[in-house]
Structure 1
Amino acid sequence: MAALLPLVVVWPLAATVIVFLSAGRIKGRSAGILATGAVGLSAMTGGVLAAGFMSGAVTYPLHVILWEWMRVPGFSATIAFALDPVSLVMIAVVTIVGFLIHLYAIGYMAADPGSARFFGCMTLFVAAMLVLVLASDLLCLFIGWEGVGLCSYLLIGFWYDSPANTAAARKAFYTTRIGDVAMLCGLLLMATATTSLQIDGLLFAVTAGQLSPAVMTGSALLLLTGALAKSAQIPFQSWLPDAMAGPTPTSALIHAATMVTAGVYLLARLHGLFAAAAPVMAIMAAIGMLTLLVAACTALVQSDLKRILAWSTISQLGYMYLALGVGAWQAALFHLVTHACFKALLFLCAGVIIARVDHEQDIFRMGGLRRFMPGVTAAFVIGAGALAALPLVTAGFYSKEMILSAVWRGQPVLTPDFILSGHLLWGGALFGALLTALYIFRCVFLVFYGQEKTVPTGRTPWVMAVPLGCLAFLSVFVGCIEMPGDIAPVHLFTRFVDPAGMAFHPHEPVWLLLAGAITPVAGAGIAWIVWGRSRPVTRAIPETGGGTGDLLPVMPLRFVVRITRYDLPDRLDAAAGWMTRATSRMMMRARRAVVHLAAERTAMVGREGTVVLVRMQNGRVRWYAGWIVAGLGAALAWAMLS
């Protein structure tokens, strides 16, 4: 079984090497089949490991050391993989959802001339993410961390002939690099206090009290900064909506199962370290709460279909960080799983819709599409219901309810004299659930109902329809593995990922469960009243603010949204770009001046040297003999003096 663990990474990595080394000789569809098959083999290998894990043939944690990376006095690092319940869950999410996205991309990218390059980058993305989730050493994890950042740059700017796409790719690269530098500083800080960055050894050092409080707090804060940048949380949220410039399968892969959830996985993996740094946990909870509200408000005033889903991703990640901040890393991980299913479904449905309406992304220019694409409508409504957490019938309800329950009990401690109220955080999270149902069903009613404004063309090929059906099924039924105790005593997920810590589930008041169930239904009802009826309250054109500017309850929220327009990272990105261009111009001018001066001096030396040589080579034998005697005398003098 140990030999199978590296194969999980080897399959997609081998496909990447084959596609890139083929130098274009493998055509787009063949490259897509190769990439999809490789990710499918990785998923099958993970399934075999999971079966062995369940049957007891594999005991966790399973460690496989590939080679020793470095060894210096007082420190060592290895390239090694480890399999435990948390990494096994992440393998399933990355490979299964990644396989469905690759299968969908075969049809979506069929007519694109650069599809082979696209699939090479996609499989490299999956391989880097698997390295990240399997690494047993934080430096090895950092390799995968940087790998997904590089691949996101390549995929966001895939259509590089458009300046907007390349600008979005640079923006994502610059913003996430800020967090990567902070994360590397945190790793170096921990490395100075330990002999290794092995995750198990590091967590043991934390519980044994071998790290000082200053080192734990400082390193946890730096790691949190890296995770916030990767997950597009405030104040690093500006890069993710612009990442919609890439192909839709890229958006689904980045926003659902891989890059943006890497920060959540890192914090869940190192929950022991963060539990020992209580102020950092409180900061994490506060940032998560602020992000989920601001992103939900922003999504409510967007008109671009993909940007609505992008802001939705930021908001849902805010829920995960809120859960992590109150210590419920199991709930954050469960929401990561359900979110991967329904958000991938929504993005892939959006790709089908946009492709069939002549690449129109403005929801106010759509309408009545349910008559032309009933299957896509059903899939999108299922994904929207899971995102909104409609009770009992969607997976999102169970994971979000688990977060709300944990937040109600939580009491994040910023300082001994300042403790965040779990009840206040719960109220904010519940209001965020109302906003979520409001903006996603606004999207549903404007796109699929009402007056027909665009008649779609073509049909959805089976290679794109099958992933939609699979993800719709998962978006409904994957939540059944973890339910509130008042509904059914099913806690399979928490007992799998943390059998010791979550065996006891305290009884919560029934009204908490009812509040979490009624709120999304109320949000969907308000959305129907405003946008869904035959005579809606408002159907304003996008120029008037997306149809929400005339609603009195939303007016105060528009002030909150304004902070996303002029955020600090966006200004820093623009300043960095301006400085880079100015520096490039200065260096170009300096280089031209230096080259021009060097050319002039070289020509002058050549001319003067020619004159000297002409005078020396004059054909007179006595002059030659004199030069020989002079040279011999100089050589003898040098020898005598030395």
Structure 2
Amino acid sequence: MGEILLPLLILSPLAASEILFISAGRISARAVGTVACAGVGLSAVISIVLSVLLLSGPATGLLQATLWPWMHIAGFSADIAFMLDRISMVMILVVTIVGLLIHIYAASYMRDDPGVARFFGCMTLFVASMLVLVLASDLLCLFIGWEGVGLCSYLLIGFWYDNPVNTAAARKAFYMTRMGDTAFLCGLLLLATAVGSLHIDTVLAAVTNGQIAPSALNMAALFILIGALAKSAQIPFQTWLPDAMAGPTPTSALIHAATMVTAGVYLIARLHDLFAQAAPVMALTAVLGALTILMGACTALVQSDLKRILAWSTISQLGYMFLALGCGVWQAALFHLMTHAFFKALLFLTAGAIIVRTHHEQDIFRLGGLRHTMPGLTAAFVTGASALAGLPLVTAGFYSKEMILSGVWPAHFRLTHELTLNGHFLWGMALLGAFLTALYIFRCVFIVFFGKSGTTTRGQTSRLMTIPLGCLCVLSLCGGIIEMPTTFPPLHLFSALLDPAASHSHADEPGWLVLAGAVVPLAGLAVAWVLWGRPSPVMREMPGQAVVIRFARTGEGIDMLYDRLFVQPFRFLTWLTRHDILDYIITGTGRLTRTASTSVLRARTDFLGTLTLWGTSGIRETDRLLGQIQNGRVRWYAAWIAGGLSAGLAMAMLS
């Protein structure tokens, strides 16, 4: 049965996408939304059925379906094949269920847009591409889905293409993720050369058996990491994600919550056995993740645009996932990926509803007092903010973030025989990030919902928009209780689901680690209330924000750096290629040679002409002189003879 349902899982949103693209402009907006939601909804139902079939089998069982062989040549083979195990099961449930809620919301949000069919065609194609990515059993097939989500993100970010800002943001996302895709492809080529196949099980078996040289293994892991960093907007590829806010809000929710940016996390988790053998790359992953946590949180703290705050928040939360991956606790990374999909989708969709009802106002300082006019949206946003901050016991974000922190504390990396990187420092950076997360998100909550009244509001939030918000509220609050810290009642369903052998990996976790993870978000909430929550707030913006506004608020500092390091040199090379300087040099040399040859020829011609003229004149004068001497008079002849003889005798006597 799995051989039928696995292809159908992808075919359902793909068929909906084809129908919407072909029928664009011919059916109503309501019909467009129905087709899109039906395609993704059927995919969600199939995901649940497949999950039940997988869990009813053995713990190590999986479902497979091979559609057709792609290429079989000497020393290499690749197939279009899909595989469902427990890692990909978590991903398809997140992609289809959260994706369905976003599609239901978008059916109301986008109903008045003239390009609604094109929008939903791209959205359903996005879901289909993400499903190909997470279900592929071959890395080359996975690369097809990888490129598919990149293409769809370009189309959706630049959906309103009549605005040059939107198209520039789409190109920026496309270019930066393509750089990572190139590195990813180089890593695949290294693995294909070393193993002779890109089937995931074959590659991991070759790694376990030591068939790949350590240098090749480290290089392949590094290239794959670069691809994951670019797709997930981690340092140094983080600048494209905030600009992706140019697309419609449901697009932002889909990209930032359930698809696209989580692809890099899934890729490393899928290949965790490969990365476990590349200690330097693991250490680099953890360090970059920790740095991204702090960078994203600090930047979000000085933003004034509501959606950009959430965008930088996504970058920071993905940093937690990469930190966990680098420390080897990939189960915690996937757990946080799941809970993050719940509360980040909730925050983006709530922000979209607020923006629509406030005349498309996104500046938090122009919003205020919305708890009076939007009590339901206030409750939804506060729920998402609490889960993002990881408020203890009552939110899903607390349990997933606690699982990461408890896994980072005992980590250590032996880079060389003498050099070891301890996880305690990385844990401290992650804990500081938790404090900053609570600080910036509740800064937003207190200013927007509890501050001084700002812009006027209009209308009501439609039922199609409130149903997904209600479902996501429940998931954001209760979605994390399946994995408890060891100091709580022993409930480890998620880690037991992914890897039964690792279900009690944190049995020796000190109780004070859990306490620190619980107190720090509360401290961030308290500081945010002191600074922005009281009737007379201490400050409006962060001190010194004017100094960092250009570099932190808009990200121009990093963009400027990249412009100097990469864009300008590339443009110079493009200019050289366009104008063909080498051809100019060769042509100029030829022109100079021709000019010199012409000058030499002219000089030679003039010299020989002058010499000939002088010779002719000399001969003529000599002939005239001789003609005067030979006049036929004998006495003159005798005189010349006598004179010549006298001269000869004189010379002989003198010598």
Please give the range of the TM-score, normalised by the shorter of the 2 chains: 0.7 to 0.9
**Partner residue, 2:488:** 487
Letter in 2 for 1:123: T
Instruction: Indicate if the aligned counterparts of 1:235 and 1:569 stay in contact, CA closer than 8 A.
Output: no
Structure 2 equivalent of residue 535 of structure 1? 536
Structure 1 residue runs of 5 or longer lacking an equivalent are 540-546, 591-642
Q: Which stretch shows the higher mean deviation, 462-471 or 25-34?
A: 25-34
* Aligned position for 2:106: 105
| Equivalent position of 1:639 in the other structure | none
Q: After alignment, is 477-486 or 571-580 more displaced?
A: 571-580
Residues 1:94 and 1:467: Cα distance change in structure 2 (over 3 Å): same
Instruction: Say if 1:309 and 1:36 are closer, same or farther in 2 by CA, change over 3 A.
Output: same
Q: Give the drift of 1:559.
A: 8.8
CA contact under 8 A between 2:406 and 2:506: conserved in structure 1? no
User: Hey, what does 1:122 align to over in structure 2?
Assistant: 123
**How far off is 1:264 after superposition?**
0.1
2:62 and 2:40 mapped to 1: Cα distance? Answer: 24
Write the mapping of 1:61-140 to structure 2, written as runs, cut at 5 A. Answer: 61-140=62-141
Structure 2 residue runs of 5 or longer lacking an equivalent are 584-655
1:566 to 554, 558, 562: 558
The verdict on how the C-alpha distance between 1:561 and 1:421 changes in structure 2, with shifts beyond 3 A counting, is farther
Would you say how many aligned residue pairs link Structure 1 and Structure 2?
579
Structure 2 CA distance, aligned partners of 1:59 and 1:424? 36
SS of 1:205's partner is: helix
Task: Name the residue aligned to 1:549.
Answer: 543
**Change in 2 beyond 3 A, CA 1:455/1:518:** same
In 1, Cα distance between equivalents of 2:240 and 2:22: 31
State the TM-score, normalized to the length of structure 2.
0.85
For residues 365-406 of structure 1, give each alpha carbon's deviation from its aligned partner in whole angstroms, at most 9, with x where no partner exists: 000000001010000000000000000000000000000000
Q: CA deviation at 1:146?
A: 0.1
Cα pair 2:550 2:557 within 8 Å, conserved: no
1:386 paired with 2:387, answer yes
Aligned ranges for residues 598-617 of structure 1 at < 5 Å?
A: none
Matches of 2:366 and 2:168 in 1, distance apart? 26
Q: Which amino acid aligns with 2:440?
A: Y
Contact 2:239–2:558 (Cα < 8 Å) also in 1: no
In 2: Cα distance, 1:244 partner to 1:423 partner: 35
Secondary structure at 1:458 match in 2: coil
Task: Render the CA deviation track for 1:514-534: whole Å, top value 9, x for unaligned.
Answer: 110000000001000000100
- Give the conservation status (yes or no) of the 8 Å contact 1:328–1:403: yes
Counterpart residue number, 2:230: 229
The aligned residue for residue 190 of structure 1 is: 191
Query: In 1, Cα distance between the equivalents of 2:379 and 2:515?
Result: 26
- In 2, the alpha carbon distance for the partners of 1:459 and 1:87 equals 39
2:507 corresponds to which residue?
Answer: 506
- Once residues 15 and 489 of structure 1 are traced to their aligned partners in structure 2, the CA distance between those partners, rounded to angstroms, is 43
Give, as a single letter, the amino acid of the residue that structure 2 aligns with 1:409: P
Using the alignment, how far apart are the partners of 1:417 and 1:555 within structure 2? 42
Query: Relative to structure 1, is the Cα distance of residues 197 and 350 closer, same or farther in structure 2, using a 3 angstrom cutoff?
Result: same
Shift of 1:31: 1.1
Distance in structure 2 (CA, Å) of the matches to 1:411 and 1:103: 45
1:415 aligns with 2:416: yes
Give the C-alpha shift of residue 565 in structure 1: 2.0
Structure with bigger gyration radius? 2
Alignment of 1:207-606 (within 5 A): 207-539=208-540, 547-549=541-543, 565-567=557-559, 568-569=561-562, 574-575=567-568
Structure 1 residue identity aligned to 2:542: T
- State the Cα distance separating 1:298 from its structure 2 match: 0.2
AA aligned opposite 2:467: V
1:476-516: CA deviations, max 9, x gaps?
Answer: 00101101011121000000011123344322111111110
Please give the per-residue CA displacement for 1:535-554, whole angstroms capped at 9, x wherever unaligned: 11012xxxxxxx00259xx9
State the Cα distance separating 1:581 from its structure 2 match.
9.1
What's 2:200 paired with?
Answer: 199
SS at match of 2:479: helix
User: Which amino acid in the other structure matches residue 107 of structure 1?
Assistant: S
1:14 aligns with 2:15: yes
Matched, 1:51 2:52: yes
Separation of aligned partners in 1, 2:556 and 2:392:
31
Matched-pair contact (CA < 8 Å) for 2:239–2:555: no
Q: Distance in 1 between matches of 2:450 and 2:578?
A: 53
Distance in 2 separating the partners of 1:419 and 1:581: 44
1:412 Cα deviation after fit: 2.4
Q: CA deviation at 1:562?
A: 9.8
How far the C-alpha of 1:63 sits from its partner, in A, is 1.4
Deviation at 1:432, TM superposition (A): 0.3
User: 43-52 or 130-139: which moved more?
Assistant: 43-52
Give the residue type in structure 1 aligned to 2:176: T
TM-superposed deviation, 1:53: 2.0
Q: TM-score, normalised by structure 1?
A: 0.87
Q: Name the CA distance, whole Å, in 2 between partners of 1:28 and 1:278.
A: 52
Structure 1 pair 538–14 and aligned structure 2 pair: CA distance change class (3 A) = same
In structure 2, what is the Cα distance between the partners aligned to 1:421 and 1:325? 12
Closer, same or farther: CA 244–557 of 1 in aligned 2, 3 Å:
closer
Q: CA deviation at 1:202?
A: 0.6
Distance apart, 1:24 and its partner CA: 2.2
Cα distance in 2 between the residues matched to 1:464 and 1:376? 11
- Alpha-carbon distance in 2 for matches of 1:405, 1:301: 29
Name the amino acid aligned to 1:159. W
Are 1:103 and 1:467, in contact at CA under 8 Å, matched by a contact in 2?
Answer: yes
**Structure 2: which amino acid aligns with 1:565?**
G
What secondary structure is seen at the aligned counterpart in 2 of 1:439?
A: helix
Letter in structure 1 aligned against 2:378:
T
Distance change >3 Å, CA 582–CA 102, structure 1 → 2: farther
| 2:144 match | 143
CA contact (8 A) 2:550 2:556 kept: no
The aligned counterpart of 1:612 is none
Instruction: Please tell me the residue identity of whatever aligns with 2:188.
Output: L
SS in structure 2 of the partner of residue 363 of structure 1: coil
State the Cα distance separating 1:275 from its structure 2 match. Answer: 0.1
Q: CA deviation at 1:212?
A: 0.7
Could you tell which deviates more after superposition, 485-494 or 559-568? 559-568
Structure 1 counterpart of 2:94, which letter? Answer: V
Q: Which residue identity lines up with residue 39 of structure 2 in the other structure?
A: A
User: 1:171, 1:573 within 8 Å by CA — same for their partners in 2?
Assistant: no
Structure 2: how far apart are the matches of 1:369 and 1:578?
47
SS in 1 for 2:196: coil
One-letter code of the match for 2:220?
Answer: S
Equivalent residue number for residue 167 of structure 1: 168
The structure-2 alpha-carbon separation of the partners of 1:227 and 1:576, relative to structure 1 and needing over 3 Å to count, comes to: farther
Distance in 1, Cα, partners of 2:502 & 2:185: 30
Between 68-77 and 410-419, the greater mean CA deviation after superposition: 410-419
Distance 2:309 2:110 in 1: 23
SS in structure 1 of the partner of residue 415 of structure 2 = strand
Query: Residue by residue, what CA displacement relative to the aligned partner does 1:5-58 show, whole Å, maximum 9, x if unpaired?
Result: 111100000001111112421232211110111100000001111112223399
Identity, % of aligned positions: 65
Mapped partners of 2:566, 2:263: distance in 1: 22
2:24–2:117 CA contact under 8 A, matched in 1: no
CA RMSD of aligned residues (A): 2.3
1:557 positional shift = 12
Q: Find the aligned partners of 1:295 and 1:359 in 2 and give their Cα distance.
A: 25
Distance change (3 Å), C-alpha of 1:120 and 1:221: same
Alpha-carbon distance between aligned partners in 2 of 1:302 and 1:573, rounded to the nearest angstrom: 26
CA contact (8 A) 1:9 1:131 kept: yes
CA distance in 2, matches of 1:147, 1:196: 22
TM superposition shift of 1:195: 1.8
| Distance in 2 between residues matched to 1:37 and 1:576, nearest whole Å | 49
Q: Output one character per residue of 1:248-294: Cα deviation in whole Å (capped at 9) or x when no partner.
A: 00000000010000000000000000000000000000000111101
Contact 2:551–2:558 (CA under 8 A) maintained in structure 1: no
Contact preservation (8 Å) 1:285, 1:412: no
Provide closer, same or farther for how the CA distance between residues 289 and 68 of structure 1 changes in structure 2, counting only shifts above 3 A.
same
